[in-house]
Amino acid sequence: MAEDKPSELVQGTLHMLILKTLDLEPMHGYGIGVRLAQISKGVFQVNAGSLFPALRRLERDGLIRGEWRMTENNRRAKYYSLTASGRTMLTRATRTWEIQTAAIARILKAALGES
């Protein structure tokens, strides 16, 4: 249970990050994990126990769509791609995120200045 806590904390952001990753190009589950690790320079290690439930939830909500395709290594894999409503959601989530992080940053700076 202890390891679950950080991933639960980023639960909302994990969805956004997955959407962003798929916005670049359609990808299978493993690829998403690897891509996230690469881009974040290893800060985010997403394990399967968080990734796949998140994918299922996004798919159920119609934000991403999955289909079976062949990989470059000639293996079958389920590729996920962004749907139209997924793209809208990503835009909205990104804007919210930016507003919030900017606000948080301002608050943190102010606190530092005062002390």
Match 């119609």 to its residue by tokens.
62
Which C-beta is closer to another protein: that of 23 or that of 59? 59
76 binds another protein (CB under 8 A): yes
Dihedrals phi, psi of 69, to nearest 5 degrees? -145, 170
Closer of 61 and 98 to another protein (Cβ): 61
Among 11, 71, 88, 96, binds another protein (CB under 8 A): 71
Q: Work out whether 5 is an interface residue with another protein (CB under 8 A).
A: no
Lookup result for tokens 């589950």? 29
| CA proximity to 78, closest of 89, 65, 63, 67 | 67
Minimum Å distance from CB 32 to another protein? 10
Position 30 contacts another protein (CB under 8 A): yes
Among 29, 35, 64, 90, binds another protein (CB under 8 A): 29
Query: Residue 40, interface with another protein (CB under 8 A)?
Result: no
Interior/surface letters 4-21, b for 16+ CB within 10 angstroms, e for the rest: eeebeeeeeebbbbbbbb
Positions touching another protein (CB under 8 A) are: 28-31, 33-34, 45, 47-50, 52-53, 56-57, 60-62, 71, 73, 75-78
